[in-house]
């Protein structure tokens, strides 16, 4: 994967020149290990989400993560191909997991996906993401999706995440969760 800066597009993804060096968090998953899921009802990774993608993202070497997804008939957008919103959700999930290699919770503040080729229903999509660096609270990530050949990507993505205090960030929204009691209990722990 290479860094894709897009200064020619308004609002395009540009990694700042003064990016900070990163170190892997001591509690981060090791290469090949699954990265913890943050919410059992998450559309992207939640094992209890009735209509979710149920992605299991694994840590790679350095600052990389990867997952794969079978493109099922319910994901169809155009005839016989994945819906762009489903593909964007998969990209958001794999990219949002990468910041956990360097620290605690972060949320998506910018997401872009470039669709390069149709992704057929019935295929197995492989996704990988790489941390590019951080600048204060912002974390820059790029991703690539392919069907068997990483040199023939079907989509590429870029995101910016912002590190947050999860208790503060989600406190006002717990009541609307599908699991409010569990999250109230989690937020009240010291």
- Is domain 33-165 classified as CATH 3.10.20.30? no
pLDDT digits (tens, 9 = 90+) for 92-122: 999 999 999 998 788 889 999 999 999 999 9
Nearest Cα to Cα of residue 100 among 57, 67, 143, 43:
57
pLDDT digits (tens, 9 = 90+) for 155-175: 999 999 987 765 555 556 556
Q: What angle do CA 110, 112, 118 make, to 5 degrees?
A: 155
**Tally of CB atoms within 10 A around 87:** 24
Of the chain, the percentage scoring pLDDT greater than 70 comes to 76
Please determine, for residue 11, whether its predicted confidence score (pLDDT) is greater than 80: no
């Amino acid at each position: 994967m290479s860094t894709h800066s897009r200064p020619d597009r308004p609002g395009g993804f540009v990694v700042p020149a003064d990016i900070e060096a990163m170190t892997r968090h001591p509690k981060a998953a090791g290469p090949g290990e699954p990265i913890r899921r943050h919410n059992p009802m998450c559309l992207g990774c939640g094992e209890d989400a009735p209509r979710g993608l149920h992605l299991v993202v694994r840590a790679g070497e350095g600052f990389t993560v990867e997952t794969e997804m079978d493109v099922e008939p319910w994901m169809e957008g155009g005839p016989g191909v994945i819906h762009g919103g489903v593909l964007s959700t998969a990209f958001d999930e794999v990219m949002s997991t990468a910041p956990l290699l360097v620290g605690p919770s972060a949320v998506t503040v910018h997401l872009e996906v470039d669709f390069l080729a149709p992704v057929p229903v019935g295929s197995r999509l492989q996704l990988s993401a790489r941390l590019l660096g951080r600048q204060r609270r912002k974390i820059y990530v790029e991703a690539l999706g392919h069907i068997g050949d990483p040199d023939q990507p079907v989509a590429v993505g870029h995101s910016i995440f912002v590190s947050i205090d999860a208790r503060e960030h989600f406190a006002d929204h717990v009541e609307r969760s599908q699991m409010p009691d569990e999250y109230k209990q989690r937020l009240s722990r010291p």
